[in-house]
Structure 1
Amino acid sequence: MSVAERQAPELRVQKWIGEDGGRVVAPLKLSDFGTGAKILFAFQHWCRGCHLHGFPTLRRLHGALGPQGVGFAVIQTVFEGAHENTFEKLRVNQLKYELPVAFGHDEPPAGATLPTFMEDYRTRGTPWFTVIDAGGRIVFSDFHLDEDQLVKELELA
């Protein structure tokens, strides 16, 4: 895959809904998504590319890799358009794409310009895929993901 490996930082996203749409009281940690590989998907509700390419790709990956124990999380990174990219839109997208995974809402902390996920994971927008291997290393982080290649690589791992 196409990124220099580095250890994945712990998530600092404060607001989450669970697989069933219920609000999660405590912030989630990477370990909450299992001990194996993890796929994190960053989006914004108003991002056209997220709906045309990102979510359909995520659905295919979840269908192929979820049953194999790969953990998934979706994070709305609110770096613009806070009036449209609201916490309430998490459940809208979770239902629309039939994704029974945790969805997080990440706004910049007071005094910051970027959401914590964008800052910590060095993302540059949406839709964005981050793949973390079972050892906790980021092995992919980019806009464009070759889902067939990823499925093959994770099946071999």
Structure 2
Amino acid sequence: MSFGINHRPAPELRVPVWIGPDGAAMAPLQLADLGEGMKVLFCFQDWCPGCHSRGFPTLRLLVDRLAGQGVGFAAIQTAFRSSAKKDAGDQTAKNQLRYGLSIPFGYDPVPEGAEQPSVMEDFRTAGTPWFIVISAEGEVIYNDFRLDAAKFLASMDLPDV
């Protein structure tokens, strides 16, 4: 099985539980809610060491560097392990606070009768940490475990801050 859906239209999000940048519950997020520009989705597990050692620091760097550049961000806890299913999303808000990320955070449990969360199914992810980058035109342009922040930022030709 190949992973990712690069060069395909991004499917709409089906994540049922969301908290907004302020930590308050919000309606389910749609990709359009992240703005008209590029979108970066970060999938994580609370128990995942790589999410905390590499994923969240990369996300934090990107959010800081791309503030005001028209890039939309969201983090999604994909609960694909039995231990993650038990927290019912409690770790989602804790991680938002822990990393000081004022972006929407979603909790995507495995739906009844399904084998994996909707984001994993729709974007064909292979685990966590996982980054998905969607162009302003709605095409998935990156979909993989690691995102090299320096290369990604260099490719964007951003003005110096």
> Residues 5-24 of structure 1: matches in 2 within 5 Å?
5-24=7-26
Say whether the 8 Å CA contact 1:66–1:72 is kept in structure 2. Answer: no
3-state DSSP class of the match of 2:102?
Answer: coil
Q: Which position in structure 2 is the counterpart of 1:145?
A: 147
Q: Does 1:66 align with 2:67?
A: yes
Q: Which position in structure 2 is the counterpart of 1:89?
A: 91
* Change over 3 Å in CA distance of 1:45–1:149 after alignment to 2: same
Give the whole-Å Cα distance in 2 for the aligned partners of 1:3 and 1:27: 22
Q: CA deviation at 1:91?
A: 1.2
> How much is the aligned-residue C-alpha RMSD, in angstroms?
1.6
Say whether the 8 Å CA contact 1:45–1:84 is kept in structure 2. Answer: no
Could you list the per-position Cα deviations for residues 38-85 of structure 1 after superposition, in whole angstroms to 9, with x for gaps in the alignment?
000000001010000000000001011122110000000000023555
Q: CA deviation at 1:4?
A: 3.6
Give unpaired runs (5+ residues) of structure 1.
Answer: none
Q: CA deviation at 1:90?
A: 1.1
> How many pairs were matched up?
154
3-state DSSP class of the match of 1:68?
Answer: coil
TM (norm. structure 1) is 0.93
Q: Which amino acid aligns with 1:139?
A: I
TM (norm. structure 2) is 0.91
Q: Which moved more, 1:110-119 or 1:147-156?
A: 147-156
Q: CA deviation at 1:130?
A: 0.4
